[in-house]
């Protein structure tokens, strides 16, 4: 049987506000999420075997633990008896770096859930899909469908049908940020802003005025990240620059691909050993 190919797109937090803490001690967030044409490639096929086979290849496949979002996903589905003893061979080409704030592992799980449900490989209710996502990771639910914008507020997901088509330039230092440490330093909380947001009000200008509440903490904890953003900011006065998630990727948003290409040349000249990727929102 031939492999089927699935695209697993990187996600970016266009805006992220920390609203407070839940009873579970996790933080309550609201975030505006977009997806990029940058993607991992997942290859999947049925096999006659006792166990699933999960392999990772590509530039960012090193040091992925045996227990990961994909192994967790299939373990849970087996326990739920949703796969009816069918086993799969899954090979994932990792084009999205780890510890980058781009949700690579979470979006891999989301993409596979979408595939299994839409191809009728498993039967899951909407409630079961939500529960499955939260068992794997808090970001996994954001990747269901992976298109347009996603508004997450008070654990509610809202699809915003709008394609911004913004050119983006991503740069990641040769280190990752500790999400746990960064959240432990949050002391101030934002007020909810997105409860009444409308797609017609979301554009390049309005996005440039938003923020990421985790950014200042990350820049203080990682001085090299602060210097990187400062250099990035001085490249193009018409662009804006913001960290995604808890980092360490810094994202520049540009009015044109030409401006993004020029910025990439300057960044690569200054930071030769940093990962840099020109992309766009989908």
User: Catalytic residues, which ones?
Assistant: 11, 139
CA-CA-CA-CA dihedral for 46, 52, 53, 57, to nearest 10: 90
Contact 214, 31 (CB under 8 A): no
Residue owning tokens 């407070």: 20
Contact 207, 242 (CB under 8 A): no
Alpha helix ranges (H) inside the chain: 69-79, 104-118, 126-136, 179-184, 204-208, 215-221, 223-233, 257-270
d(C-alpha 93, C-alpha 82), whole Å: 26
Alpha helix ranges (H) inside 85-199: 104-118, 126-136, 179-184
Contact 89, 52 (CB under 8 A): yes
Alpha-carbon separation of residue 128 from 72, 97, 122, 132, 135 (angstroms): 15, 29, 11, 6, 11
The Cα angle at residue 256 between residues 252 and 262, in degrees rounded to 5? 65
Residue 116: Cβ within 10 Å count: 20
Residue 59: Cβ within 10 Å count: 11
Q: At 177, is the secondary structure helix, strand, or coil? A: coil
d(C-alpha 208, C-alpha 76), whole Å: 40
CA Rg value for the chain: 19
Contact 18, 213 (CB under 8 A): yes
């Amino acid at each position: 049987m031939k492999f089927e190919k699935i695209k697993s797109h990187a996600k970016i937090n266009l805006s992220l506000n920390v609203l407070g803490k839940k009873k579970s001690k996790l933080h309550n967030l609201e975030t505006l999420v977009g997806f990029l044409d940058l993607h991992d490639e997942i290859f999947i096929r049925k096999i006659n075997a006792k166990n699933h086979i999960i392999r990772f290849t590509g530039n960012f496949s090193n040091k992925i633990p045996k227990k990961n979002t994909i192994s967790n996903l299939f373990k849970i589905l087996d326990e739920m008896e949703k796969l009816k003893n069918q086993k799969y061979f899954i090979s994932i080409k990792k084009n999205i770096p780890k510890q980058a704030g781009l949700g690579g592992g979470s979006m891999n799980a989301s993409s596979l859930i979408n595939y299994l449900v839409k191809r009728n490989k498993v039967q899951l209710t909407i409630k079961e899909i939500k529960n499955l996502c939260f068992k794997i990771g808090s970001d996994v639910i954001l990747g269901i469908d992976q298109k347009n914008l996603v508004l997450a507020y008070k654990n509610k997901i809202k699809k915003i049908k709008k394609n911004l088509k913004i050119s983006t330039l991503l740069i990641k230092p040769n280190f990752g940020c500790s999400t746990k440490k960064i959240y432990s330093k949050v002391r101030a909380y934002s007020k909810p802003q997105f409860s009444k947001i409308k797609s017609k009000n979301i554009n390049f200008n309005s996005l440039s005025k938003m923020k990421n509440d985790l950014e200042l903490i990350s820049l203080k904890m990682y001085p090299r990240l602060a210097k990187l953003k400062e250099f990035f900011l001085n490249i193009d006065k018409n662009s804006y620059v913001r960290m995604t998630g808890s980092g360490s990727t810094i994202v520049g948003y540009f009015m044109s691909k030409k401006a993004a290409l020029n910025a990439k040349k300057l960044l690569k000249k200054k930071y030769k050993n940093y990962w840099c990727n020109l992309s766009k929102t989908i």
